[in-house]
Structure 1
């Protein structure tokens, strides 16, 4: 054990028992991280990068097995009991998980979830823990932090939930923060703020940070050293400067070159409008209290109007909490709202669940949090074919299975995985399963809410090509909600920019990207395409 190292991973192997036999996810990985250092672990979805640290923390699924050593200050964590691990987890070593909605307890308020580790590990009183919780929420820039203390996870946006997870991880000033895709659900401006915040805290506390990510822009701007993983093994490691300027392996060069490219073919001027929305608004809260006093509520979407034609893609961008995901759900009548929504000539505004059922085959959605939207009790094959059982009951079981195989192949997953369960996949693989579930019905319109946020660049590139191909083949239309502006640019015909529930700018993709009209849009563009300079500027400030 090197004196300066906080954590040393030595020859870790991780395997899982599955219906198809033993699957080896990690094969002899070794790595280390020293105090005050930032180390990044990168690789494609399913490369095993998350499983290394999950095994080190003793958090493997029940069908997982780990061998080797994970030494925290010389003490091997592999094989320790939950009680022994809890002396270290949450206080000295903390972890931010990739999917915050599944890591936060839906029955506990945000205040209770952050306060609990402060009281258990920090010995704080309830009042002191509450005060520290508010301080942490403000630190990670949760809007209206005091109001959010009593909120539940489902009342926050994806980016806000991710910031709550970061606040929880930082609560006890850990020696080592393991961050598994910590900025996946964050928009580009908040990414820069959070990364800058982590850098400040790292310098102040001497904290080490281990980043597990597919975002190479973040790695280049933030990491000291990099480990590149493929198929459960480390194929290359070195300083960030070495990896980005002179990568030795062809695989690393492929990762660095895998940026979304090209532009979508324009829609024919004669294409009909399939969806239109007029003055759509959504307000949360506003209920009367015990004494009959009405609270004003929070206006998440404020009078938005839009239209969408056959074969067209509308990109919706904006910071976390801007209302873009809420708008997408309202358009599909998954949330109640005001205004008028017309789909294929039918007014679907305010239709209840039963009335909307005939439209669900042609109106599909890919949700931001794939793990939360995939049933843990169903196999992947059952998840993908569930919609066929409802909307195409006449087809045979053999045909359903064939359609499931085709859908999995289209999203670049081996069809043989259809007998496994969601927890046996990486975050990026679960995202592809969610896309396959929507595609299997060949819908007219898909609302894609951050569909590529959990995917590495190489898979993003292939998914964009797939979505373009399916759109051209079947004439599908997309509403593409994302904070990843390079993906939006590659896939969209038009772009709508949202802020605080309002549309601040809208127009053809080229116009929005090449000549943005508002300061807000210009700030988004700069943060998206020049993260390194934004971080450097923040550090100087």
Structure 2
């Protein structure tokens, strides 16, 4: 099989959605191709249409969407192909890995059953043969304790393990083409490197082609042979990875390449007052046992200490499961904890819901998934002013509306949008709404839990600038929890590194990033900033 042989060919693809506001053209006459055995990346900001091309080709568009044009696999037209004939190709010869494995895996079925099903449907294997192959696939993607994981449910696996399961399912029938749609977006940097290394290894073993849809240009540079750059539903530039990264011809491509977080936050003076002081905070989860399994105790956070000064940003980094988000919630008493938490000289640890209410105004939180934390039944204006109903009940409806208007302006959104609902906004806009909801109360401390992890680099850059501006304007203090080290470096003046619930290193941000003391921190830094070298070493180790 020649590597120059085209196996997937898209010609003049157009995707249109019917909406209450009329037709929306998401893809506007795109051409691209994938050759046998190569890795092709499709990059662009959210809304550029990159995912919709593949959904159209695979017959997976939403009910209000329609596709025109041509998408062929080895000469077979896919657009308009009857479902029964399409099913012989997708899941067998062409497979997809989706962005969020938790929503792609059925929560009611074990991992073993979900991997076995396509083997029985497409491969004609018996139940026992399919189970044996499922075990082999889990071993292939380096899932620890694969025999036990066959019986596990999706919620019992970490994010990285769930993504490996999705890869195992995609590889079950030895596909010719693997389409990976943002498969590493929500993963920690070290897990990202492992997943990419695994895909590269499997590609070499199986000879398959990979079509990689992503907004992470570091991954593209380390992983892809060729690149298509998309904007507003069109391909604006294409070429080899080296050409795109060294000699981009379009301003848009140059903007994407330059959209890395930049700048540094100067440290606050040691004389700045301490607003939030946590001493030896621990969080323990008790898991109940079942009929045949004993219960167990999980120490998620182990005696972590933190001091946050006025105007300071403390970054907390670490892999998934390190306890960083749990610690952030414990600081605001959203989870029960042991240890001591003091806000402006007053102990708040152990306070119940009613006793904590007076402190909620000053201790706000912005969550990772703004879509999940914003009520779909409330308008943006109602969401932003909800806290004012509790903390400033004396305000009139007109005054609350004015506060919502000012908060929306503060985060760079048009106040006229306040009567819209969350689903009508992009990911970056929803994150701005979540920030506006916190800022409208004029707090002193905001805990930001992975607020930029699912956003494009260009949108991340905008959110970073926004956070810097409101911090300066209101003398806010931030606790910034993230696995994106580039963002933490740009925003935080003090950094804490966590692993397995404990602090392994902390100090001034520049000191931690430039002269890390622990091997764990060094591995995090290398995976974040030297991905190409990490993947190269992985390949050498496996060779």
Range class of TM-score, shorter chain: 0.7 to 0.9
Cα displacement (A) at 1:126: 4.3
Shift of 1:277: 2.5
Corresponding residue for residue 188 of structure 1: 189
Q: Which is worse superposed, 346-355 or 304-313?
A: 346-355
Whole-Å Cα distance in 1 between the matches of residues 152 and 32 of structure 2? 39
Q: Max radius of gyration: which structure?
A: 2
Quote the residue 1:511 is aligned against.
511
Provide closer, same or farther for how the CA distance between residues 196 and 363 of structure 1 changes in structure 2, counting only shifts above 3 A: same
Cα distance in 2 for residues equivalent to 1:299 and 1:175: 44
**Contact 1:280/1:339 (8 A) holds in 2:** yes
More divergent stretch after superposition (310-319 vs 51-60): 51-60
Find the residue that maps to 2:88 and give its secondary structure: coil
Kept in 2, the 8 Å contact 1:45–1:429? The answer is no
Asked if 1:329 is matched to 2:292, the reply is no
Distance 1:319 1:520 in 2: 10
Per the normalisation by structure 1, the TM-score is: 0.88
Deviates more, 1:274-283 or 1:26-35: 274-283
- C-alpha deviation, 1:395, in angstroms: 4.8
Structure-1 residue corresponding to 2:207? 206
**1:107-186 pair list within 5 angstroms:** 107-142=108-143, 148-186=149-187
Which whole-Å deviations, capped at 9, do the CAs of 1:208-228 have from their partners, x for residues lacking one?
Answer: 111111111111111111111
Deviation at 1:199, TM superposition (A): 0.8
Q: Distance in 2 between matches of 1:285 and 1:5?
A: 54
Partner residue of 2:491?
A: 491
Instruction: For 1:418 and 1:24, locate their aligned partners in 2 and report how far apart those are by CA, in whole Å.
Output: 25
Q: Which residue of 1 aligns with 2:244?
A: 243
Q: 1:359 to 1:532 in 2, by over 3 A?
A: same
Q: 2:522 maps to which residue?
A: 522
Choose 495-504 or 235-244, whichever is displaced more.
Answer: 495-504
Structure 1 residue 4 and structure 2 residue 5: aligned?
yes
The secondary structure found in structure 2 opposite 1:297 is strand
> Counterpart in 2 of 1:502?
502
Runs of 4+ residues over 6 Å off in structure 1: none
Deviation, structure 1 residue 489: 0.8
Instruction: Look up the SS of the partner of 1:329 in the other structure.
Output: helix
Tell me the alpha carbon deviations over residues 334-385 of structure 1, each in whole angstroms, 9 at most, x when there is no partner: 4444333333444443455555555444333333344444445555555555
The within-5 A match list for 1:39-58 is: 39-58=40-59
Q: Report how far residue 38 of structure 1 moved.
A: 0.8
> What secondary structure does 2:53 align onto?
helix
**Paired residues, what number?**
539
Whether contact under 8 Å (2:100, 2:183) holds in the other structure is: no
CA distance in 2, matches of 1:350, 1:108: 38
Q: How far did residue 282 of structure 1 move?
A: 3.1
Taking the aligned partners of 1:82 and 1:525, their CA distance within structure 2 comes to 47
Structure 2 equivalent of residue 310 of structure 1: 310
- Measure the CA separation in 1 of the matches of 2:84 and 2:402: 47
Q: Secondary structure at the match of 2:296?
A: coil
Q: Secondary structure at the match of 1:264?
A: coil
Instruction: Give unpaired runs (5+ residues) of structure 2.
Output: none
Shift in alpha-carbon separation, 1:349–1:392, aligned structure 2, 3 A: same
**Higher deviation after alignment, 36-45 or 260-269:** 260-269
How much does 1:509 deviate? 0.6
How big is each residue's C-alpha offset from its partner over 1:50-73, in whole Å with a ceiling of 9 and x where there is no partner? 222223233333333333232233
Q: What per-residue deviation string (whole Å, max 9, x for no partner) do you get for residues 496-520 of structure 1?
A: 1112222111111111112111111
Whole-Å Cα distance in 1 between the matches of residues 359 and 215 of structure 2?
A: 36
Per-residue CA deviation, residues 11-68 of structure 1 (Å, 9 max, x unaligned), is 2223334444433322222211122111111112222222222232333333333332
